[in-house]
Amino acid sequence: MLSRSGLFRALLSGMLAATCPACVDSGPLPQKNTPSIVGKWDSKIRSGDSDLIVEFFADGSFKQHSVVEREGHYSLKDNKLTTYVWDNKEKKEQKRIFDLTLDGNQIAMKDPDSSAEIRMNRTCKAGPTQAGIVGEWFSTNYPGAIHVIPLEAPLRFPAFVEFTKDKKIFFRSLPIRSRQGQFEYSSGVLVLRFPGEDPLHSKTRVSSDQTDLKLTKNGPEIPFRQVLGSDCGTPYVVDTGP
């Protein structure tokens, strides 16, 4: 029997890979004035801690990642950051309080009860500098963020951390499995091209503020939300440290 994460990946792969009988590959799509889908998108359909991330880049390439994700919420007052994340082992919400220092594209978080300091960098510095902590960050060592222990020495706990405008917080692992290819998007039709495979066609809806994306084949829509502050236009390469 498939595990929950295996079942989730199989389900999403089937939804994204199913070919629309009414769609055929007729070469490059005509360029129209359509909303941009460039950026990083997070699937709203999850199974346990499993999630799917899709990144579209300005050069027409894309990447599809399987990751481990946890969701919680946060509050920030002055320099006190409080995070709340459900702990399945303890069967209760875990509360952590940090002294936070924000310096442009860098964050330092200090737990008053620990000598360790967590440092994070914005994953994208292109365009106007964002104010505040809203957006996506990357930490080379954030113990306890997600239940994934990398098989590296010295032991590290890398994690992507996203703070949203509505006070939610998301912790994501480095990609567990990735695929990449080329895409074309025009007139509400998205075409994904993986090397050595037939093109995959999907009807696409983008919200007016370009924060929500919906893909559909023959079944229900697959909703995605945009990961804030990650629209770099080119692939972002993280440095996991020594």
The pLDDT tens digits of the residues spanning 33-44 come to 456 898 899 999
Total-model pTM = 0.80
Tell me the per-residue pLDDT of 117-142, one tens digit each, with 9 for 90 and over.
999 998 876 545 556 899 999 999 99
Count other C-beta atoms under 10 Å from residue 143's C-beta. Answer: 14
Question: What is the pLDDT, as a whole number, of residue 242?
Answer: 59
Residue 81: is its pLDDT beyond 90? Answer: yes
Question: What is the pLDDT, as a whole number, of residue 167?
Answer: 95
Q: Domains of the chain, with CATH numbers?
A: 4-22+35-68+176-226 (2.40.128.370), 70-172 (no CATH)
Label residue 87 by pLDDT band (50, 70, 90): confident
Question: What is the pLDDT, as a whole number, of residue 233?
Answer: 59
Residue 32: is its pLDDT beyond 50? Answer: no
